[in-house]
Structure 1
Amino acid sequence: MTKEEFESYLDDIASKLRDEARKTPFAAAKQFEQRVREITKETIQAPGIEIDFNPHPQAFPDIEIGQFGIEVKFTTNDEWRSVANSVLETNRIESVQHVYIMFGKMGGNPDVRWGEYEKCVMHVRTSHVPRFEVQIDATRSLFEIMGISYDQFRVLEMHEKMQYIRKYARSRLKNGERLWWLEDSPGEAHTLPMQARLFTELEQSEKIRLRAEAILLCPQIVQSGRARHKYDDVALFMLTYHGVICHQTRDMFSAGSVGNPENDDNGGLYIARMLKLMEAELEKAAARMDAALFEEYWGVAVPPEERIAEWLRRADKFASGIWKPSEELFDGRYAQPRGA
Structure 2
Amino acid sequence: MTTEEFESMLDKCCDILTNEARQKGFKSSKHFEDRVREVLDGLTVEDSSIKIDYDSPAQAFPDIAMGEYGVEVKYTTSDTWRSIANSVLETQRVESVKYIYVVFGKMGGIPEVRWGEYEASVVHVRTSHVPRFEVEIASSAENSRESLFKQMGIRYEDFRQLDMTEKMKYIRAYARKIHPDGRLWWIEERDTDEHTLPIQARLYTNLSTEEKTRLRAEAALVCPKIVKSGRDRNKYDDVVLYLLTYHGVLCHQARDLFSAGSVANPANDDNGGIYIERALKLIEDDMRKAAMEMDDAIFVEYWGESVIPEQRIERWLEKADEFARGWKPSKSLFLD
TM-score band (shorter)? 0.5 to 0.7
SS of alignment partner, residue 5 of structure 1: helix
1:170 shift after superposition? 1.6
Q: How does 1:256-271 map to 2 (within 5 A)?
A: none
Mark the CA change 1:179 to 1:3 in structure 2 (over 3 Å): closer, same or farther. Answer: farther
The question of whether the paired residues in 1 share the 8 Å contact of 2:61 and 2:93 is answered with yes
1:191 shift after superposition? 7.2
Return the match for 2:163 from 145, 154, 157.
157
Mark the CA change 1:112 to 1:190 in structure 2 (over 3 Å): closer, same or farther. Answer: closer
Paired residue for 2:236? none
Mark the CA change 1:178 to 1:11 in structure 2 (over 3 Å): closer, same or farther. Answer: same
CA distance in 2, matches of 1:190, 1:116: 28
Q: How does 1:190-269 map to 2 (within 5 A)?
A: none
Larger Cα-atom Rg: 1
Q: How does 1:173-184 map to 2 (within 5 A)?
A: 173=179, 175-183=181-189
Mark the CA change 1:27 to 1:244 in structure 2 (over 3 Å): closer, same or farther. Answer: closer
Return the match for 2:147 from 141, 149, 152.
141
| Partner AA of 1:134 in structure 2 | V
Paired residue for 2:175? 169
Q: How does 1:99-114 map to 2 (within 5 A)?
A: 99-114=100-115
The question of whether the paired residues in 1 share the 8 Å contact of 2:53 and 2:66 is answered with no
CA distance in 2, matches of 1:189, 1:71: 25
Structure 2: runs of 5 or more not aligned: 139-143, 197-243, 254-336
1:179 shift after superposition? 3.8
SS of alignment partner, residue 119 of structure 1: helix
1:25 shift after superposition? 1.5
Structure 1: runs of 5 or more not aligned: 193-238, 247-340
1:177 shift after superposition? 2.4
The question of whether the paired residues in 1 share the 8 Å contact of 2:53 and 2:65 is answered with yes
Mark the CA change 1:114 to 1:244 in structure 2 (over 3 Å): closer, same or farther. Answer: closer
SS of alignment partner, residue 186 of structure 2: coil
1:90 shift after superposition? 0.4
Cα deviation, 1:91-134, whole Å, max 9, x if unaligned, reads 10011000000000000000000000000000000221100000
Mark the CA change 1:16 to 1:190 in structure 2 (over 3 Å): closer, same or farther. Answer: closer
CA distance in 2, matches of 1:162, 1:118: 18
| Partner AA of 2:4 in structure 1 | E
Paired residue for 2:22? 22
Q: Equivalent pairs: percent with the same residue?
A: 54
The question of whether the paired residues in 2 share the 8 Å contact of 1:183 and 1:189 is answered with no
TM-score, structure 2 normalization: 0.55
CA distance in 2, matches of 1:144, 1:25: 35
TM-score, structure 1 normalization: 0.54
| Partner AA of 1:10 in structure 2 | L
- Which 4+ residue blocks in structure 1 deviate beyond 6 angstroms? 243-246
**RCO comparison, higher one (Cα < 8 Å, 6+):** 2
1:51 shift after superposition? 1.6
Is residue 2:95 matched to residue 1:94? yes
Tell me the matched-pair count: 196
Cα deviation, 1:210-247, whole Å, max 9, x if unaligned, reads xxxxxxxxxxxxxxxxxxxxxxxxxxxxx99xx9979x
